[in-house]
Amino acid sequence: MKRSLAWIVLLLVTTLGAAAQETQKPRSGWSVIPLPTVSYTSDNGWQFGALAELYYYGPGRCRYPEYDHTFYFDIGISTKGNRYGFVSYDSDKLIPGLRLSTSVIYQSHKSYPFMGFNGFASPYSEALYYTNDEKGKQIPSGFYQMHKNMLRFFFDLKGDILPNFKWAAGLHFWGIWVQDTDWPMAGASLLHRYVNAGLVSEDEAKGGRHAELVAGVLYDTRDSEATTKRGIWAEAFLYGSPDVFHGRNSYLNLALHFRHYIPIVPEKLTFAYHLAYQGTLAGEMPFYLLSNIAGLQLRQVDSDGLGSYTSLRGLLYNRILGQGYAWSNIELRWFIVDFKLLGIDWGIAVNPLVDLGMVVQPYRLEAMRTSMDTDLYNGGGWAWSGDKLHTAYGVGAKLTVDTNFVVSAEYARPVLASDGTGGLNVGVGYIF
């Protein structure tokens, strides 16, 4: 795994060097960074794709490192058959006085994890996670998996209230289609067992469409959005859907985020932490939306958790599924060196990290209690006494190009074996 990581980082640095040479040419305020991507995770296998990030800084780049417009394009496919495409646009110049952020995502995930409800109430079993092929070789099974196709559209606006204090509103559309994975397994998948136990209806188990409204406020004093070294970034917002398409899953949720970046050594060492909560105030979300980590602006292809590189790094993907979560990400960001090469600003940093979180609002608990006698886990540990903290620790490395583009590699592992054996992610950007 370490050799794979070294090879991936070498490829990224080489490609970025070529891109940097291209950006030396006259560009009338444009910065273009194309990048072939290669990564490996236990969930997706080897993943190959390409991304491009385009920044327009205005005449003479007079606002640099702030930008007038940015476009982001990302496509990829994995050896496990997962595919995605992502297009986003962000600007505070297109509409005077407002910041517009919009994005479209399509994902076809043949091995999307479904680990059960309410954290430790749903035990993880390696014996169920793996099976043997016709040659007797151990391979991942489909017990904890489903095939999920998803189309999402986000349209968000922000405007000023006071200095550093803004309002935000948006319209989000979800289209999700769920079916059985074609991964091999012995017997029914966990999702099928949930359907048979009455925890998920047959109609809900197929997915659905939802138009979601979002409204809230945010406070932002960060010195930089991409490589933050000081400041506060806080959000509080409501999001909900009247479910005009199905009439079975209307909901209203609350999300709170507080991110604080405290410089210990100015420009060199920063202590950063993120405190977060999201939960339901009224109604009930469908099970297939519970894993979404809500935000006022979508910044990446994946926004799932708890568990994954976007929420609790090192934990099994979607290990914790509930109606309400509380979690935290803690990092020590050491900005080792900044330098100029080929006319481009570069930077290298590392970030030791600790992540922790838990279910604070259980999902369909009464239905789980009345289903205790069903054979959901082949007789394994069906109980609820409240979730416990799920904790992971690790380290990351960052390569910054042209100030706003950050290549990231992070490895983390959980404290408890019931949360998995750890995970590596090579991607773009800081987690917060």
pLDDT in tens, 337-383: 999 888 888 999 999 999 999 999 999 988 887 776 555 665 554 55
Q: How far apart are CA 238 and CA 217, in angstroms?
A: 9
Three-state DSSP state, 245: coil
Three-state DSSP state, 179: strand
CB 310 within 8 A of CB 302: yes
Q: Which residue has the tokens 């000081």?
A: 230
Is the pLDDT assigned to residue 111 strictly greater than 60?
yes
Residue 140 burial (CB count, 10 A): 18
Q: Determine the pLDDT at residue 43.
A: 65
CB 154 within 8 A of CB 298: yes
Element (H, E) at 14: helix 2-23
Percentage of residues in the chain with pLDDT exceeding 70? 88
Q: How far apart are CA 94 and CA 177, in angstroms?
A: 34
Closest CA to 322 of 116, 49, 77: 116
ω into residue 59 within 30 of 0, thus cis? no
What's the angle, vertex CA 409, arms to CA 172 and CA 399, rounded to 5? 95
Check which CATH number belongs to the domain holding 404 and give it: 2.40.160.50
In the structure encoding, which two tokens stand for residue 207, read together? 């997915």
Is the pLDDT assigned to residue 7 strictly greater than 60?
no
Residue range 383-392: average pLDDT?
81
pLDDT level of residue 244 (50, 70, 90 thresholds):
confident
The phi and psi torsions of 289 (rounded to 5 degrees) equal -105, -10
Q: How far apart are CA 9 and CA 24, in angstroms?
A: 23
Residue 410 burial (CB count, 10 A): 22
Number of domains in the chain: 1
Q: How far apart are CA 159 and CA 169, in angstroms?
A: 9
Q: Determine the pLDDT at residue 27.
A: 45
CB 283 within 8 A of CB 246: no
Q: How far apart are CA 209 and CA 200, in angstroms?
A: 17
Three-state DSSP state, 348: strand
Half-sphere exposure for 139 (CA within 13 Å, toward CB): 14
Question: Which residues are registered as beta bridge partners of 270?
Answer: 263, 333
| DSSP string for 119-169 | GGGS---HHHHEEE-TTS-EEE-STTEEEEEEEEEEEEEEEEEETTEEEEE
Q: Determine the pLDDT at residue 62.
A: 64
Q: Determine the pLDDT at residue 8.
A: 45
Instruction: Look up the domain containing 146 and give its range.
Output: 2-428
CA distances from 360 to 86, 152, 415 (A): 32, 27, 20
Residue range 326-332: average pLDDT?
98
Q: What is the pLDDT of residues 161-207, one digit of tens each?
A: 999 999 999 999 999 999 988 887 777 899 998 998 889 999 999 99
Q: Determine the pLDDT at residue 292.
A: 92
Helix residue ranges, H only, 160-319: 190-196
Q: What is the pLDDT of residues 8-29, one digit of tens each?
A: 444 444 444 544 444 444 344 7
In total, the chain counts a number of residues equal to 432
CA distances from 127 to 15, 141, 142, 311, 415 (A): 41, 9, 12, 26, 20
Least confident of 136-145, 262-271, 273-282, 287-296: 136-145
| DSSP string for 23-40 | HTS--TTEEEEEEEEEEE
Q: What is the pLDDT of residues 30-65, one digit of tens each?
A: 888 787 877 766 667 778 899 888 988 887 656 776
